[in-house]
Amino acid sequence: MNKKPEDIKVIIATDCGSTTTKAILIQYDEEKGEYRQTHRGEAPTTVEAPFEDVTKGVLNSVQELAELSGRELLDEDNRIIKERTENRGADIYISTSSAGGGLQMMVAGVVRSMTAESAERAALGAGAIVMDVIASNDHRLPHEQIERIRQLRPDMILLSGGIDGGTLSHVVELAELISAADPKPRLGIGYKLPIIYAGNKDARENVSGTLEEKVDLVIVDNLRPVLERENLGPARDKIHDMFMEHVMQQAPGYKTLMSWTDAPIMPTPGAVGAIIERVAKLNDIEVVGVDIGGATTDVFSVFKDPEDEKPVFNRTVSANLGMSYSISNVLAEASLPNISRWIPFPIDERKLRNQIKNKMIRPTTIPQTLESLVIEQAIAREALRLAFIQHKAFATTLKGVQKQRTIADAFDQSGTEGTIVNMMNLNLLVGSGGVLSHAPRRNQSAMMMMDAFRPEGITRLAVDSIFMMPHLGVLSEVHSQAATEVFLKDCLIFLGTCVAPVGQIKQGKDVMKYSINFPTGTEEGMLKQGEMKLFKLGVGEEAEAVFEPQGKADLGEGKGSKVETIVHGGVVGIILDGRGRPLMTVPDDKDARIEQMLGWLENLGVYNMEELRALGKA
């Protein structure tokens, strides 16, 4: 890009998601002397037939931008106009991409129940979908295994096998098998298929010799160096990095798109991560951000290292959790009862299952009815919850220092010891992605984030107004002033503050005494276990508050210790969440569960309650 930053007045930015391509127009307001986001257009991403070209969706979204803004942005040859005049063209065009969708892997190991299983765990831990496990003893003949690799077209293969100093021949045979299959990237463009070798270190040379020419081979530490110990960290991290760098952003037509942009295309999580890190740094706070897309859910966090107080940034991409292509996997991972618990009306299981699958096969549809919306938001809660569990397991203080698992805890998937994520220290929780940014009511976004992330103590909540964090992330690389101005004025919408005492108190007992000095007067009272309350406090407004947790309840200063603080308002307000942490259990009785859920939703103004209750009677 040759233009000087001061000459850039009109910017087009797109984000090519797996499902939707979003375009925004940023213009410099000469009178006010600032950059603002002025218009937004979107179109289905065109990675499927009959187009199979991501640029078509880009042009459709820019065309919508042109129609809405009245500015001519495409020329007669359907190219983005890069020479600006008063009502025509833009100075620069930039883009991010996650159009390639989720990560679908194959793993291979010598013994199905040993190294192959460890490899499978490493891939699952990295947020991949494991399509098949190839093992020397899986009772399939070599040609069947080769056929399977060809048929499945994995995005990546993790090859393991042998403890250090163990079998060579079996590992090399597996490498030969992969070599014979000659796997090609699914989209067949410009890069070789990534293969990670994490097996017997003595076989590295032989594996390299067999595979180097055909694939993009990366060697990491053995994921099972001795029989009794797993070391999944290095393989897991490498899967993650390779996915971000090589697979996610690729899509049919990607090469053409690259030739259009004025800055290198960034993978969407890279761009959103850059913005989240910036927010944390600017305000010296601890932040969690999430971007929930169609194929992946990306979580970002900045927490201070307890030892030296230095901020540590972590990013995870759960390539198996999302709201369209991966929606069915959310159902498979979370299970139906976990999704149903967030739906405040009875629903036929068959119908619910069919709705979820139909969203998977027709990913660009939107909920027209309240019932569809509530179901989609219930699924989103579970996708977010699972993605955050994965993030906590990943987020350690130092990149590269990983916990080594012994055979005894190799089966424990829930352990998050050693995580740097401390929800009590969290200052700000930011949500982005279609289901959070485009929720018809912001209260819905707040509720989804609270249910999924379960913030503890006092936490501010915010959302990306119309889903533009990826665009601003890439813009910050080329024009940081424009990116910062638009981020602060148009992107970040503060929802308010969540006040959630930690502790498990008996239902109906006192949890926290509160006194909040709102501009309209003081609100005082007692929050009971299981209650949720909402008080209006607008954007930019603050209120002095005194919270007195009761008994074993803790708001960050210790059990039963008083907290005096300033709370910040937002489009939703101040939410007192008395459901306890860990979150109180859902009643087994369906009617009791629905009644409880309806109570929370009503208190927080999440849906049109009349219509919601009518759904229960229908």
Is residue 90 within the footprint of other proteins (CB under 8 A)? no
Among 92, 174, 360, 421, binds other proteins (CB under 8 A): 360
Residue 21 contacts residue 56 (beta carbons within 8 Å): no
Q: Write the DSSP assignment of 94-109 as a string of letters.
A: EEEE-TT-S-EEEEEE
Min CB(336)–other proteins separation in Å: 9
Euclidean distance between CA atoms 8 and 84, whole angstroms: 9
d(CA 189, CA 252): 8
First to last CA, the chain: 59
Which positions from 421 to 450 touch other proteins by CB under 8 A, shown as an x/- string?
Answer: -----------------x-xx---------
- The contact mask relative to other proteins for 248-277 (x = CB under 8 A, - = no) is --xxx-------------------------
Residues 528-557, mask of contacts with other proteins (x by CB under 8 A):
------------------------------
The CA-atom distances, in angstroms, between 522 and each of 297, 459, 519, 535, 571 are 40, 21, 8, 11, 20
Contact between 225 and 164 (Cβ < 8 Å): yes
C-alpha separations of 539 from 492, 526, 568, 571 in Å: 11, 25, 8, 6
- Does position 100 interact with other proteins (CB under 8 A)? The reply is yes
Q: Which stretch binds other proteins (CB under 8 A): 193-201, 281-289, 357-365, 458-466?
A: 357-365
Pick out residues in 363-382 that bind other proteins (CB under 8 A).
364-373
Residue 617 in contact with other proteins, rule: CB under 8 A: no
**514 vs 567: CA distance, rounded Å:** 12
Residue 63 or 208 having the CB closest to other proteins: 63
Kindly indicate which of the ranges 2-10, 140-148, 280-288, 309-317 contains the residues binding other proteins, using the contact rule CB under 8 A.
140-148
Residue position matching structure tokens 């065109």? 46
Q: Judged by CB under 8 A, which of 241, 333, 510, 541 binds other proteins?
A: 333
- Binding other proteins (rule: CB under 8 A), the pick from 325, 487, 494, 547 is 325
Among 7, 29, 48, 591, binds other proteins (CB under 8 A): 48
Residue 618 binds other proteins (CB under 8 A):
no
- C-alpha 542/C-alpha 517 separation (Å) is 9
Q: How far is the CB of 338 from other proteins (least distance, A)?
A: 13
User: 338-342: which pairs have CB atoms within 8 A and are 24 or more residues apart?
Assistant: 338/382, 339/378, 339/379, 339/382, 340/378, 341/378, 341/586, 341/593, 341/597, 342/377, 342/378, 342/381, 342/382, 342/451, 342/597
Q: Specify the residue, 56 or 581, whose C-beta has the smaller distance to other proteins.
A: 56
Looking at 137, 354, 507, 520, which residue binds other proteins (CB under 8 A)? 354
Sheet of 156-159, strand order: 129-135, 104-109, 156-159, 194-197, 216-219
Smallest distance, other proteins to C-beta of residue 351, A:
8
Residue range at the interface with other proteins (CB under 8 A); choices 38-46, 451-459, 462-470, 593-601: 38-46
One of 226, 227, 282, 361 touching other proteins (CB under 8 A): 361
- Residue 482 has a CB neighbour count (10 Å cut-off) of 25
- Minimum Å gap between C-beta 180 and other proteins is 6
Among 9, 27, 51, 260, binds other proteins (CB under 8 A): 51
Query: Of residues 176-205, which lie at the interface with other proteins (CB under 8 A)?
Result: 180-181, 186-188
Nearest to 375 by CA among 395, 346, 413, 417: 346
**611-616 long-range contacts, Cβ below 8 Å, gap at least 24?**
611/370, 612/344, 612/345, 612/370, 612/374, 615/345, 615/370, 615/371, 615/374, 616/344, 616/345, 616/346
Minimum Å distance from CB 47 to other proteins?
Answer: 4
- The residues in 276-315 that bind other proteins, with binding defined as CB under 8 A, are 295
351 binds other proteins (CB under 8 A): yes
Q: Does 104 bind other proteins (CB under 8 A)?
A: yes
Which CB, 144 or 589, lies closer to other proteins? 144
Between strands 573-577 and 532-535, the pairing is antiparallel
Among 151, 283, 404, 561, binds other proteins (CB under 8 A): 151
How many C-beta atoms lie closer than 10 Å to residue 368's C-beta? 8
Of residues 10, 331, 447, 545, which one binds other proteins by CB under 8 A?
Answer: 331
Is residue 194 within 8 A of residue 215, CB to CB? The reply is yes
> Minimum distance between the CB of residue 80 and other proteins, rounded to whole angstroms?
17
Query: Which amino acid is residue 410, in one-letter code?
Result: A
State the DSSP string of 120-158.
HHHHHHTT-EEEEEEETTSS--HHHHHHHHHHH--SEEE
Q: How far is the CB of 264 from other proteins (least distance, A)?
A: 20
Residue 544 C-beta: closest distance to other proteins, Å: 34
What SS3 class is residue 497? strand
Angle at 90 between CA 87 and CA 93, to 5 degrees: 155
Cβ 105 to other proteins shortest distance, Å: 12
Q: Give the count of alpha carbons within 13 A of 242, CB side only.
A: 29
Min dist. Cβ of residue 60 to other proteins (A): 5
Per CB under 8 A, 60 contacts other proteins: yes
Segment 586 to 615, residues that bind other proteins, using CB under 8 A = 608, 611
> Any contact of residue 356 with other proteins (CB under 8 A)?
yes
State the Rg of the chain over Cα. 25
CB of 359 to other proteins, least distance (A): 8
Of 78 and 369, nearer to other proteins (C-beta) is: 369
Q: Is 520 in the site for other proteins (CB under 8 A)?
A: no
Classify residue 520 by its DSSP letter. Answer: T
Q: If binding is defined by CB under 8 A, does position 99 make contact with other proteins?
A: yes
Find tokens 């992946």 and name the residue: 296
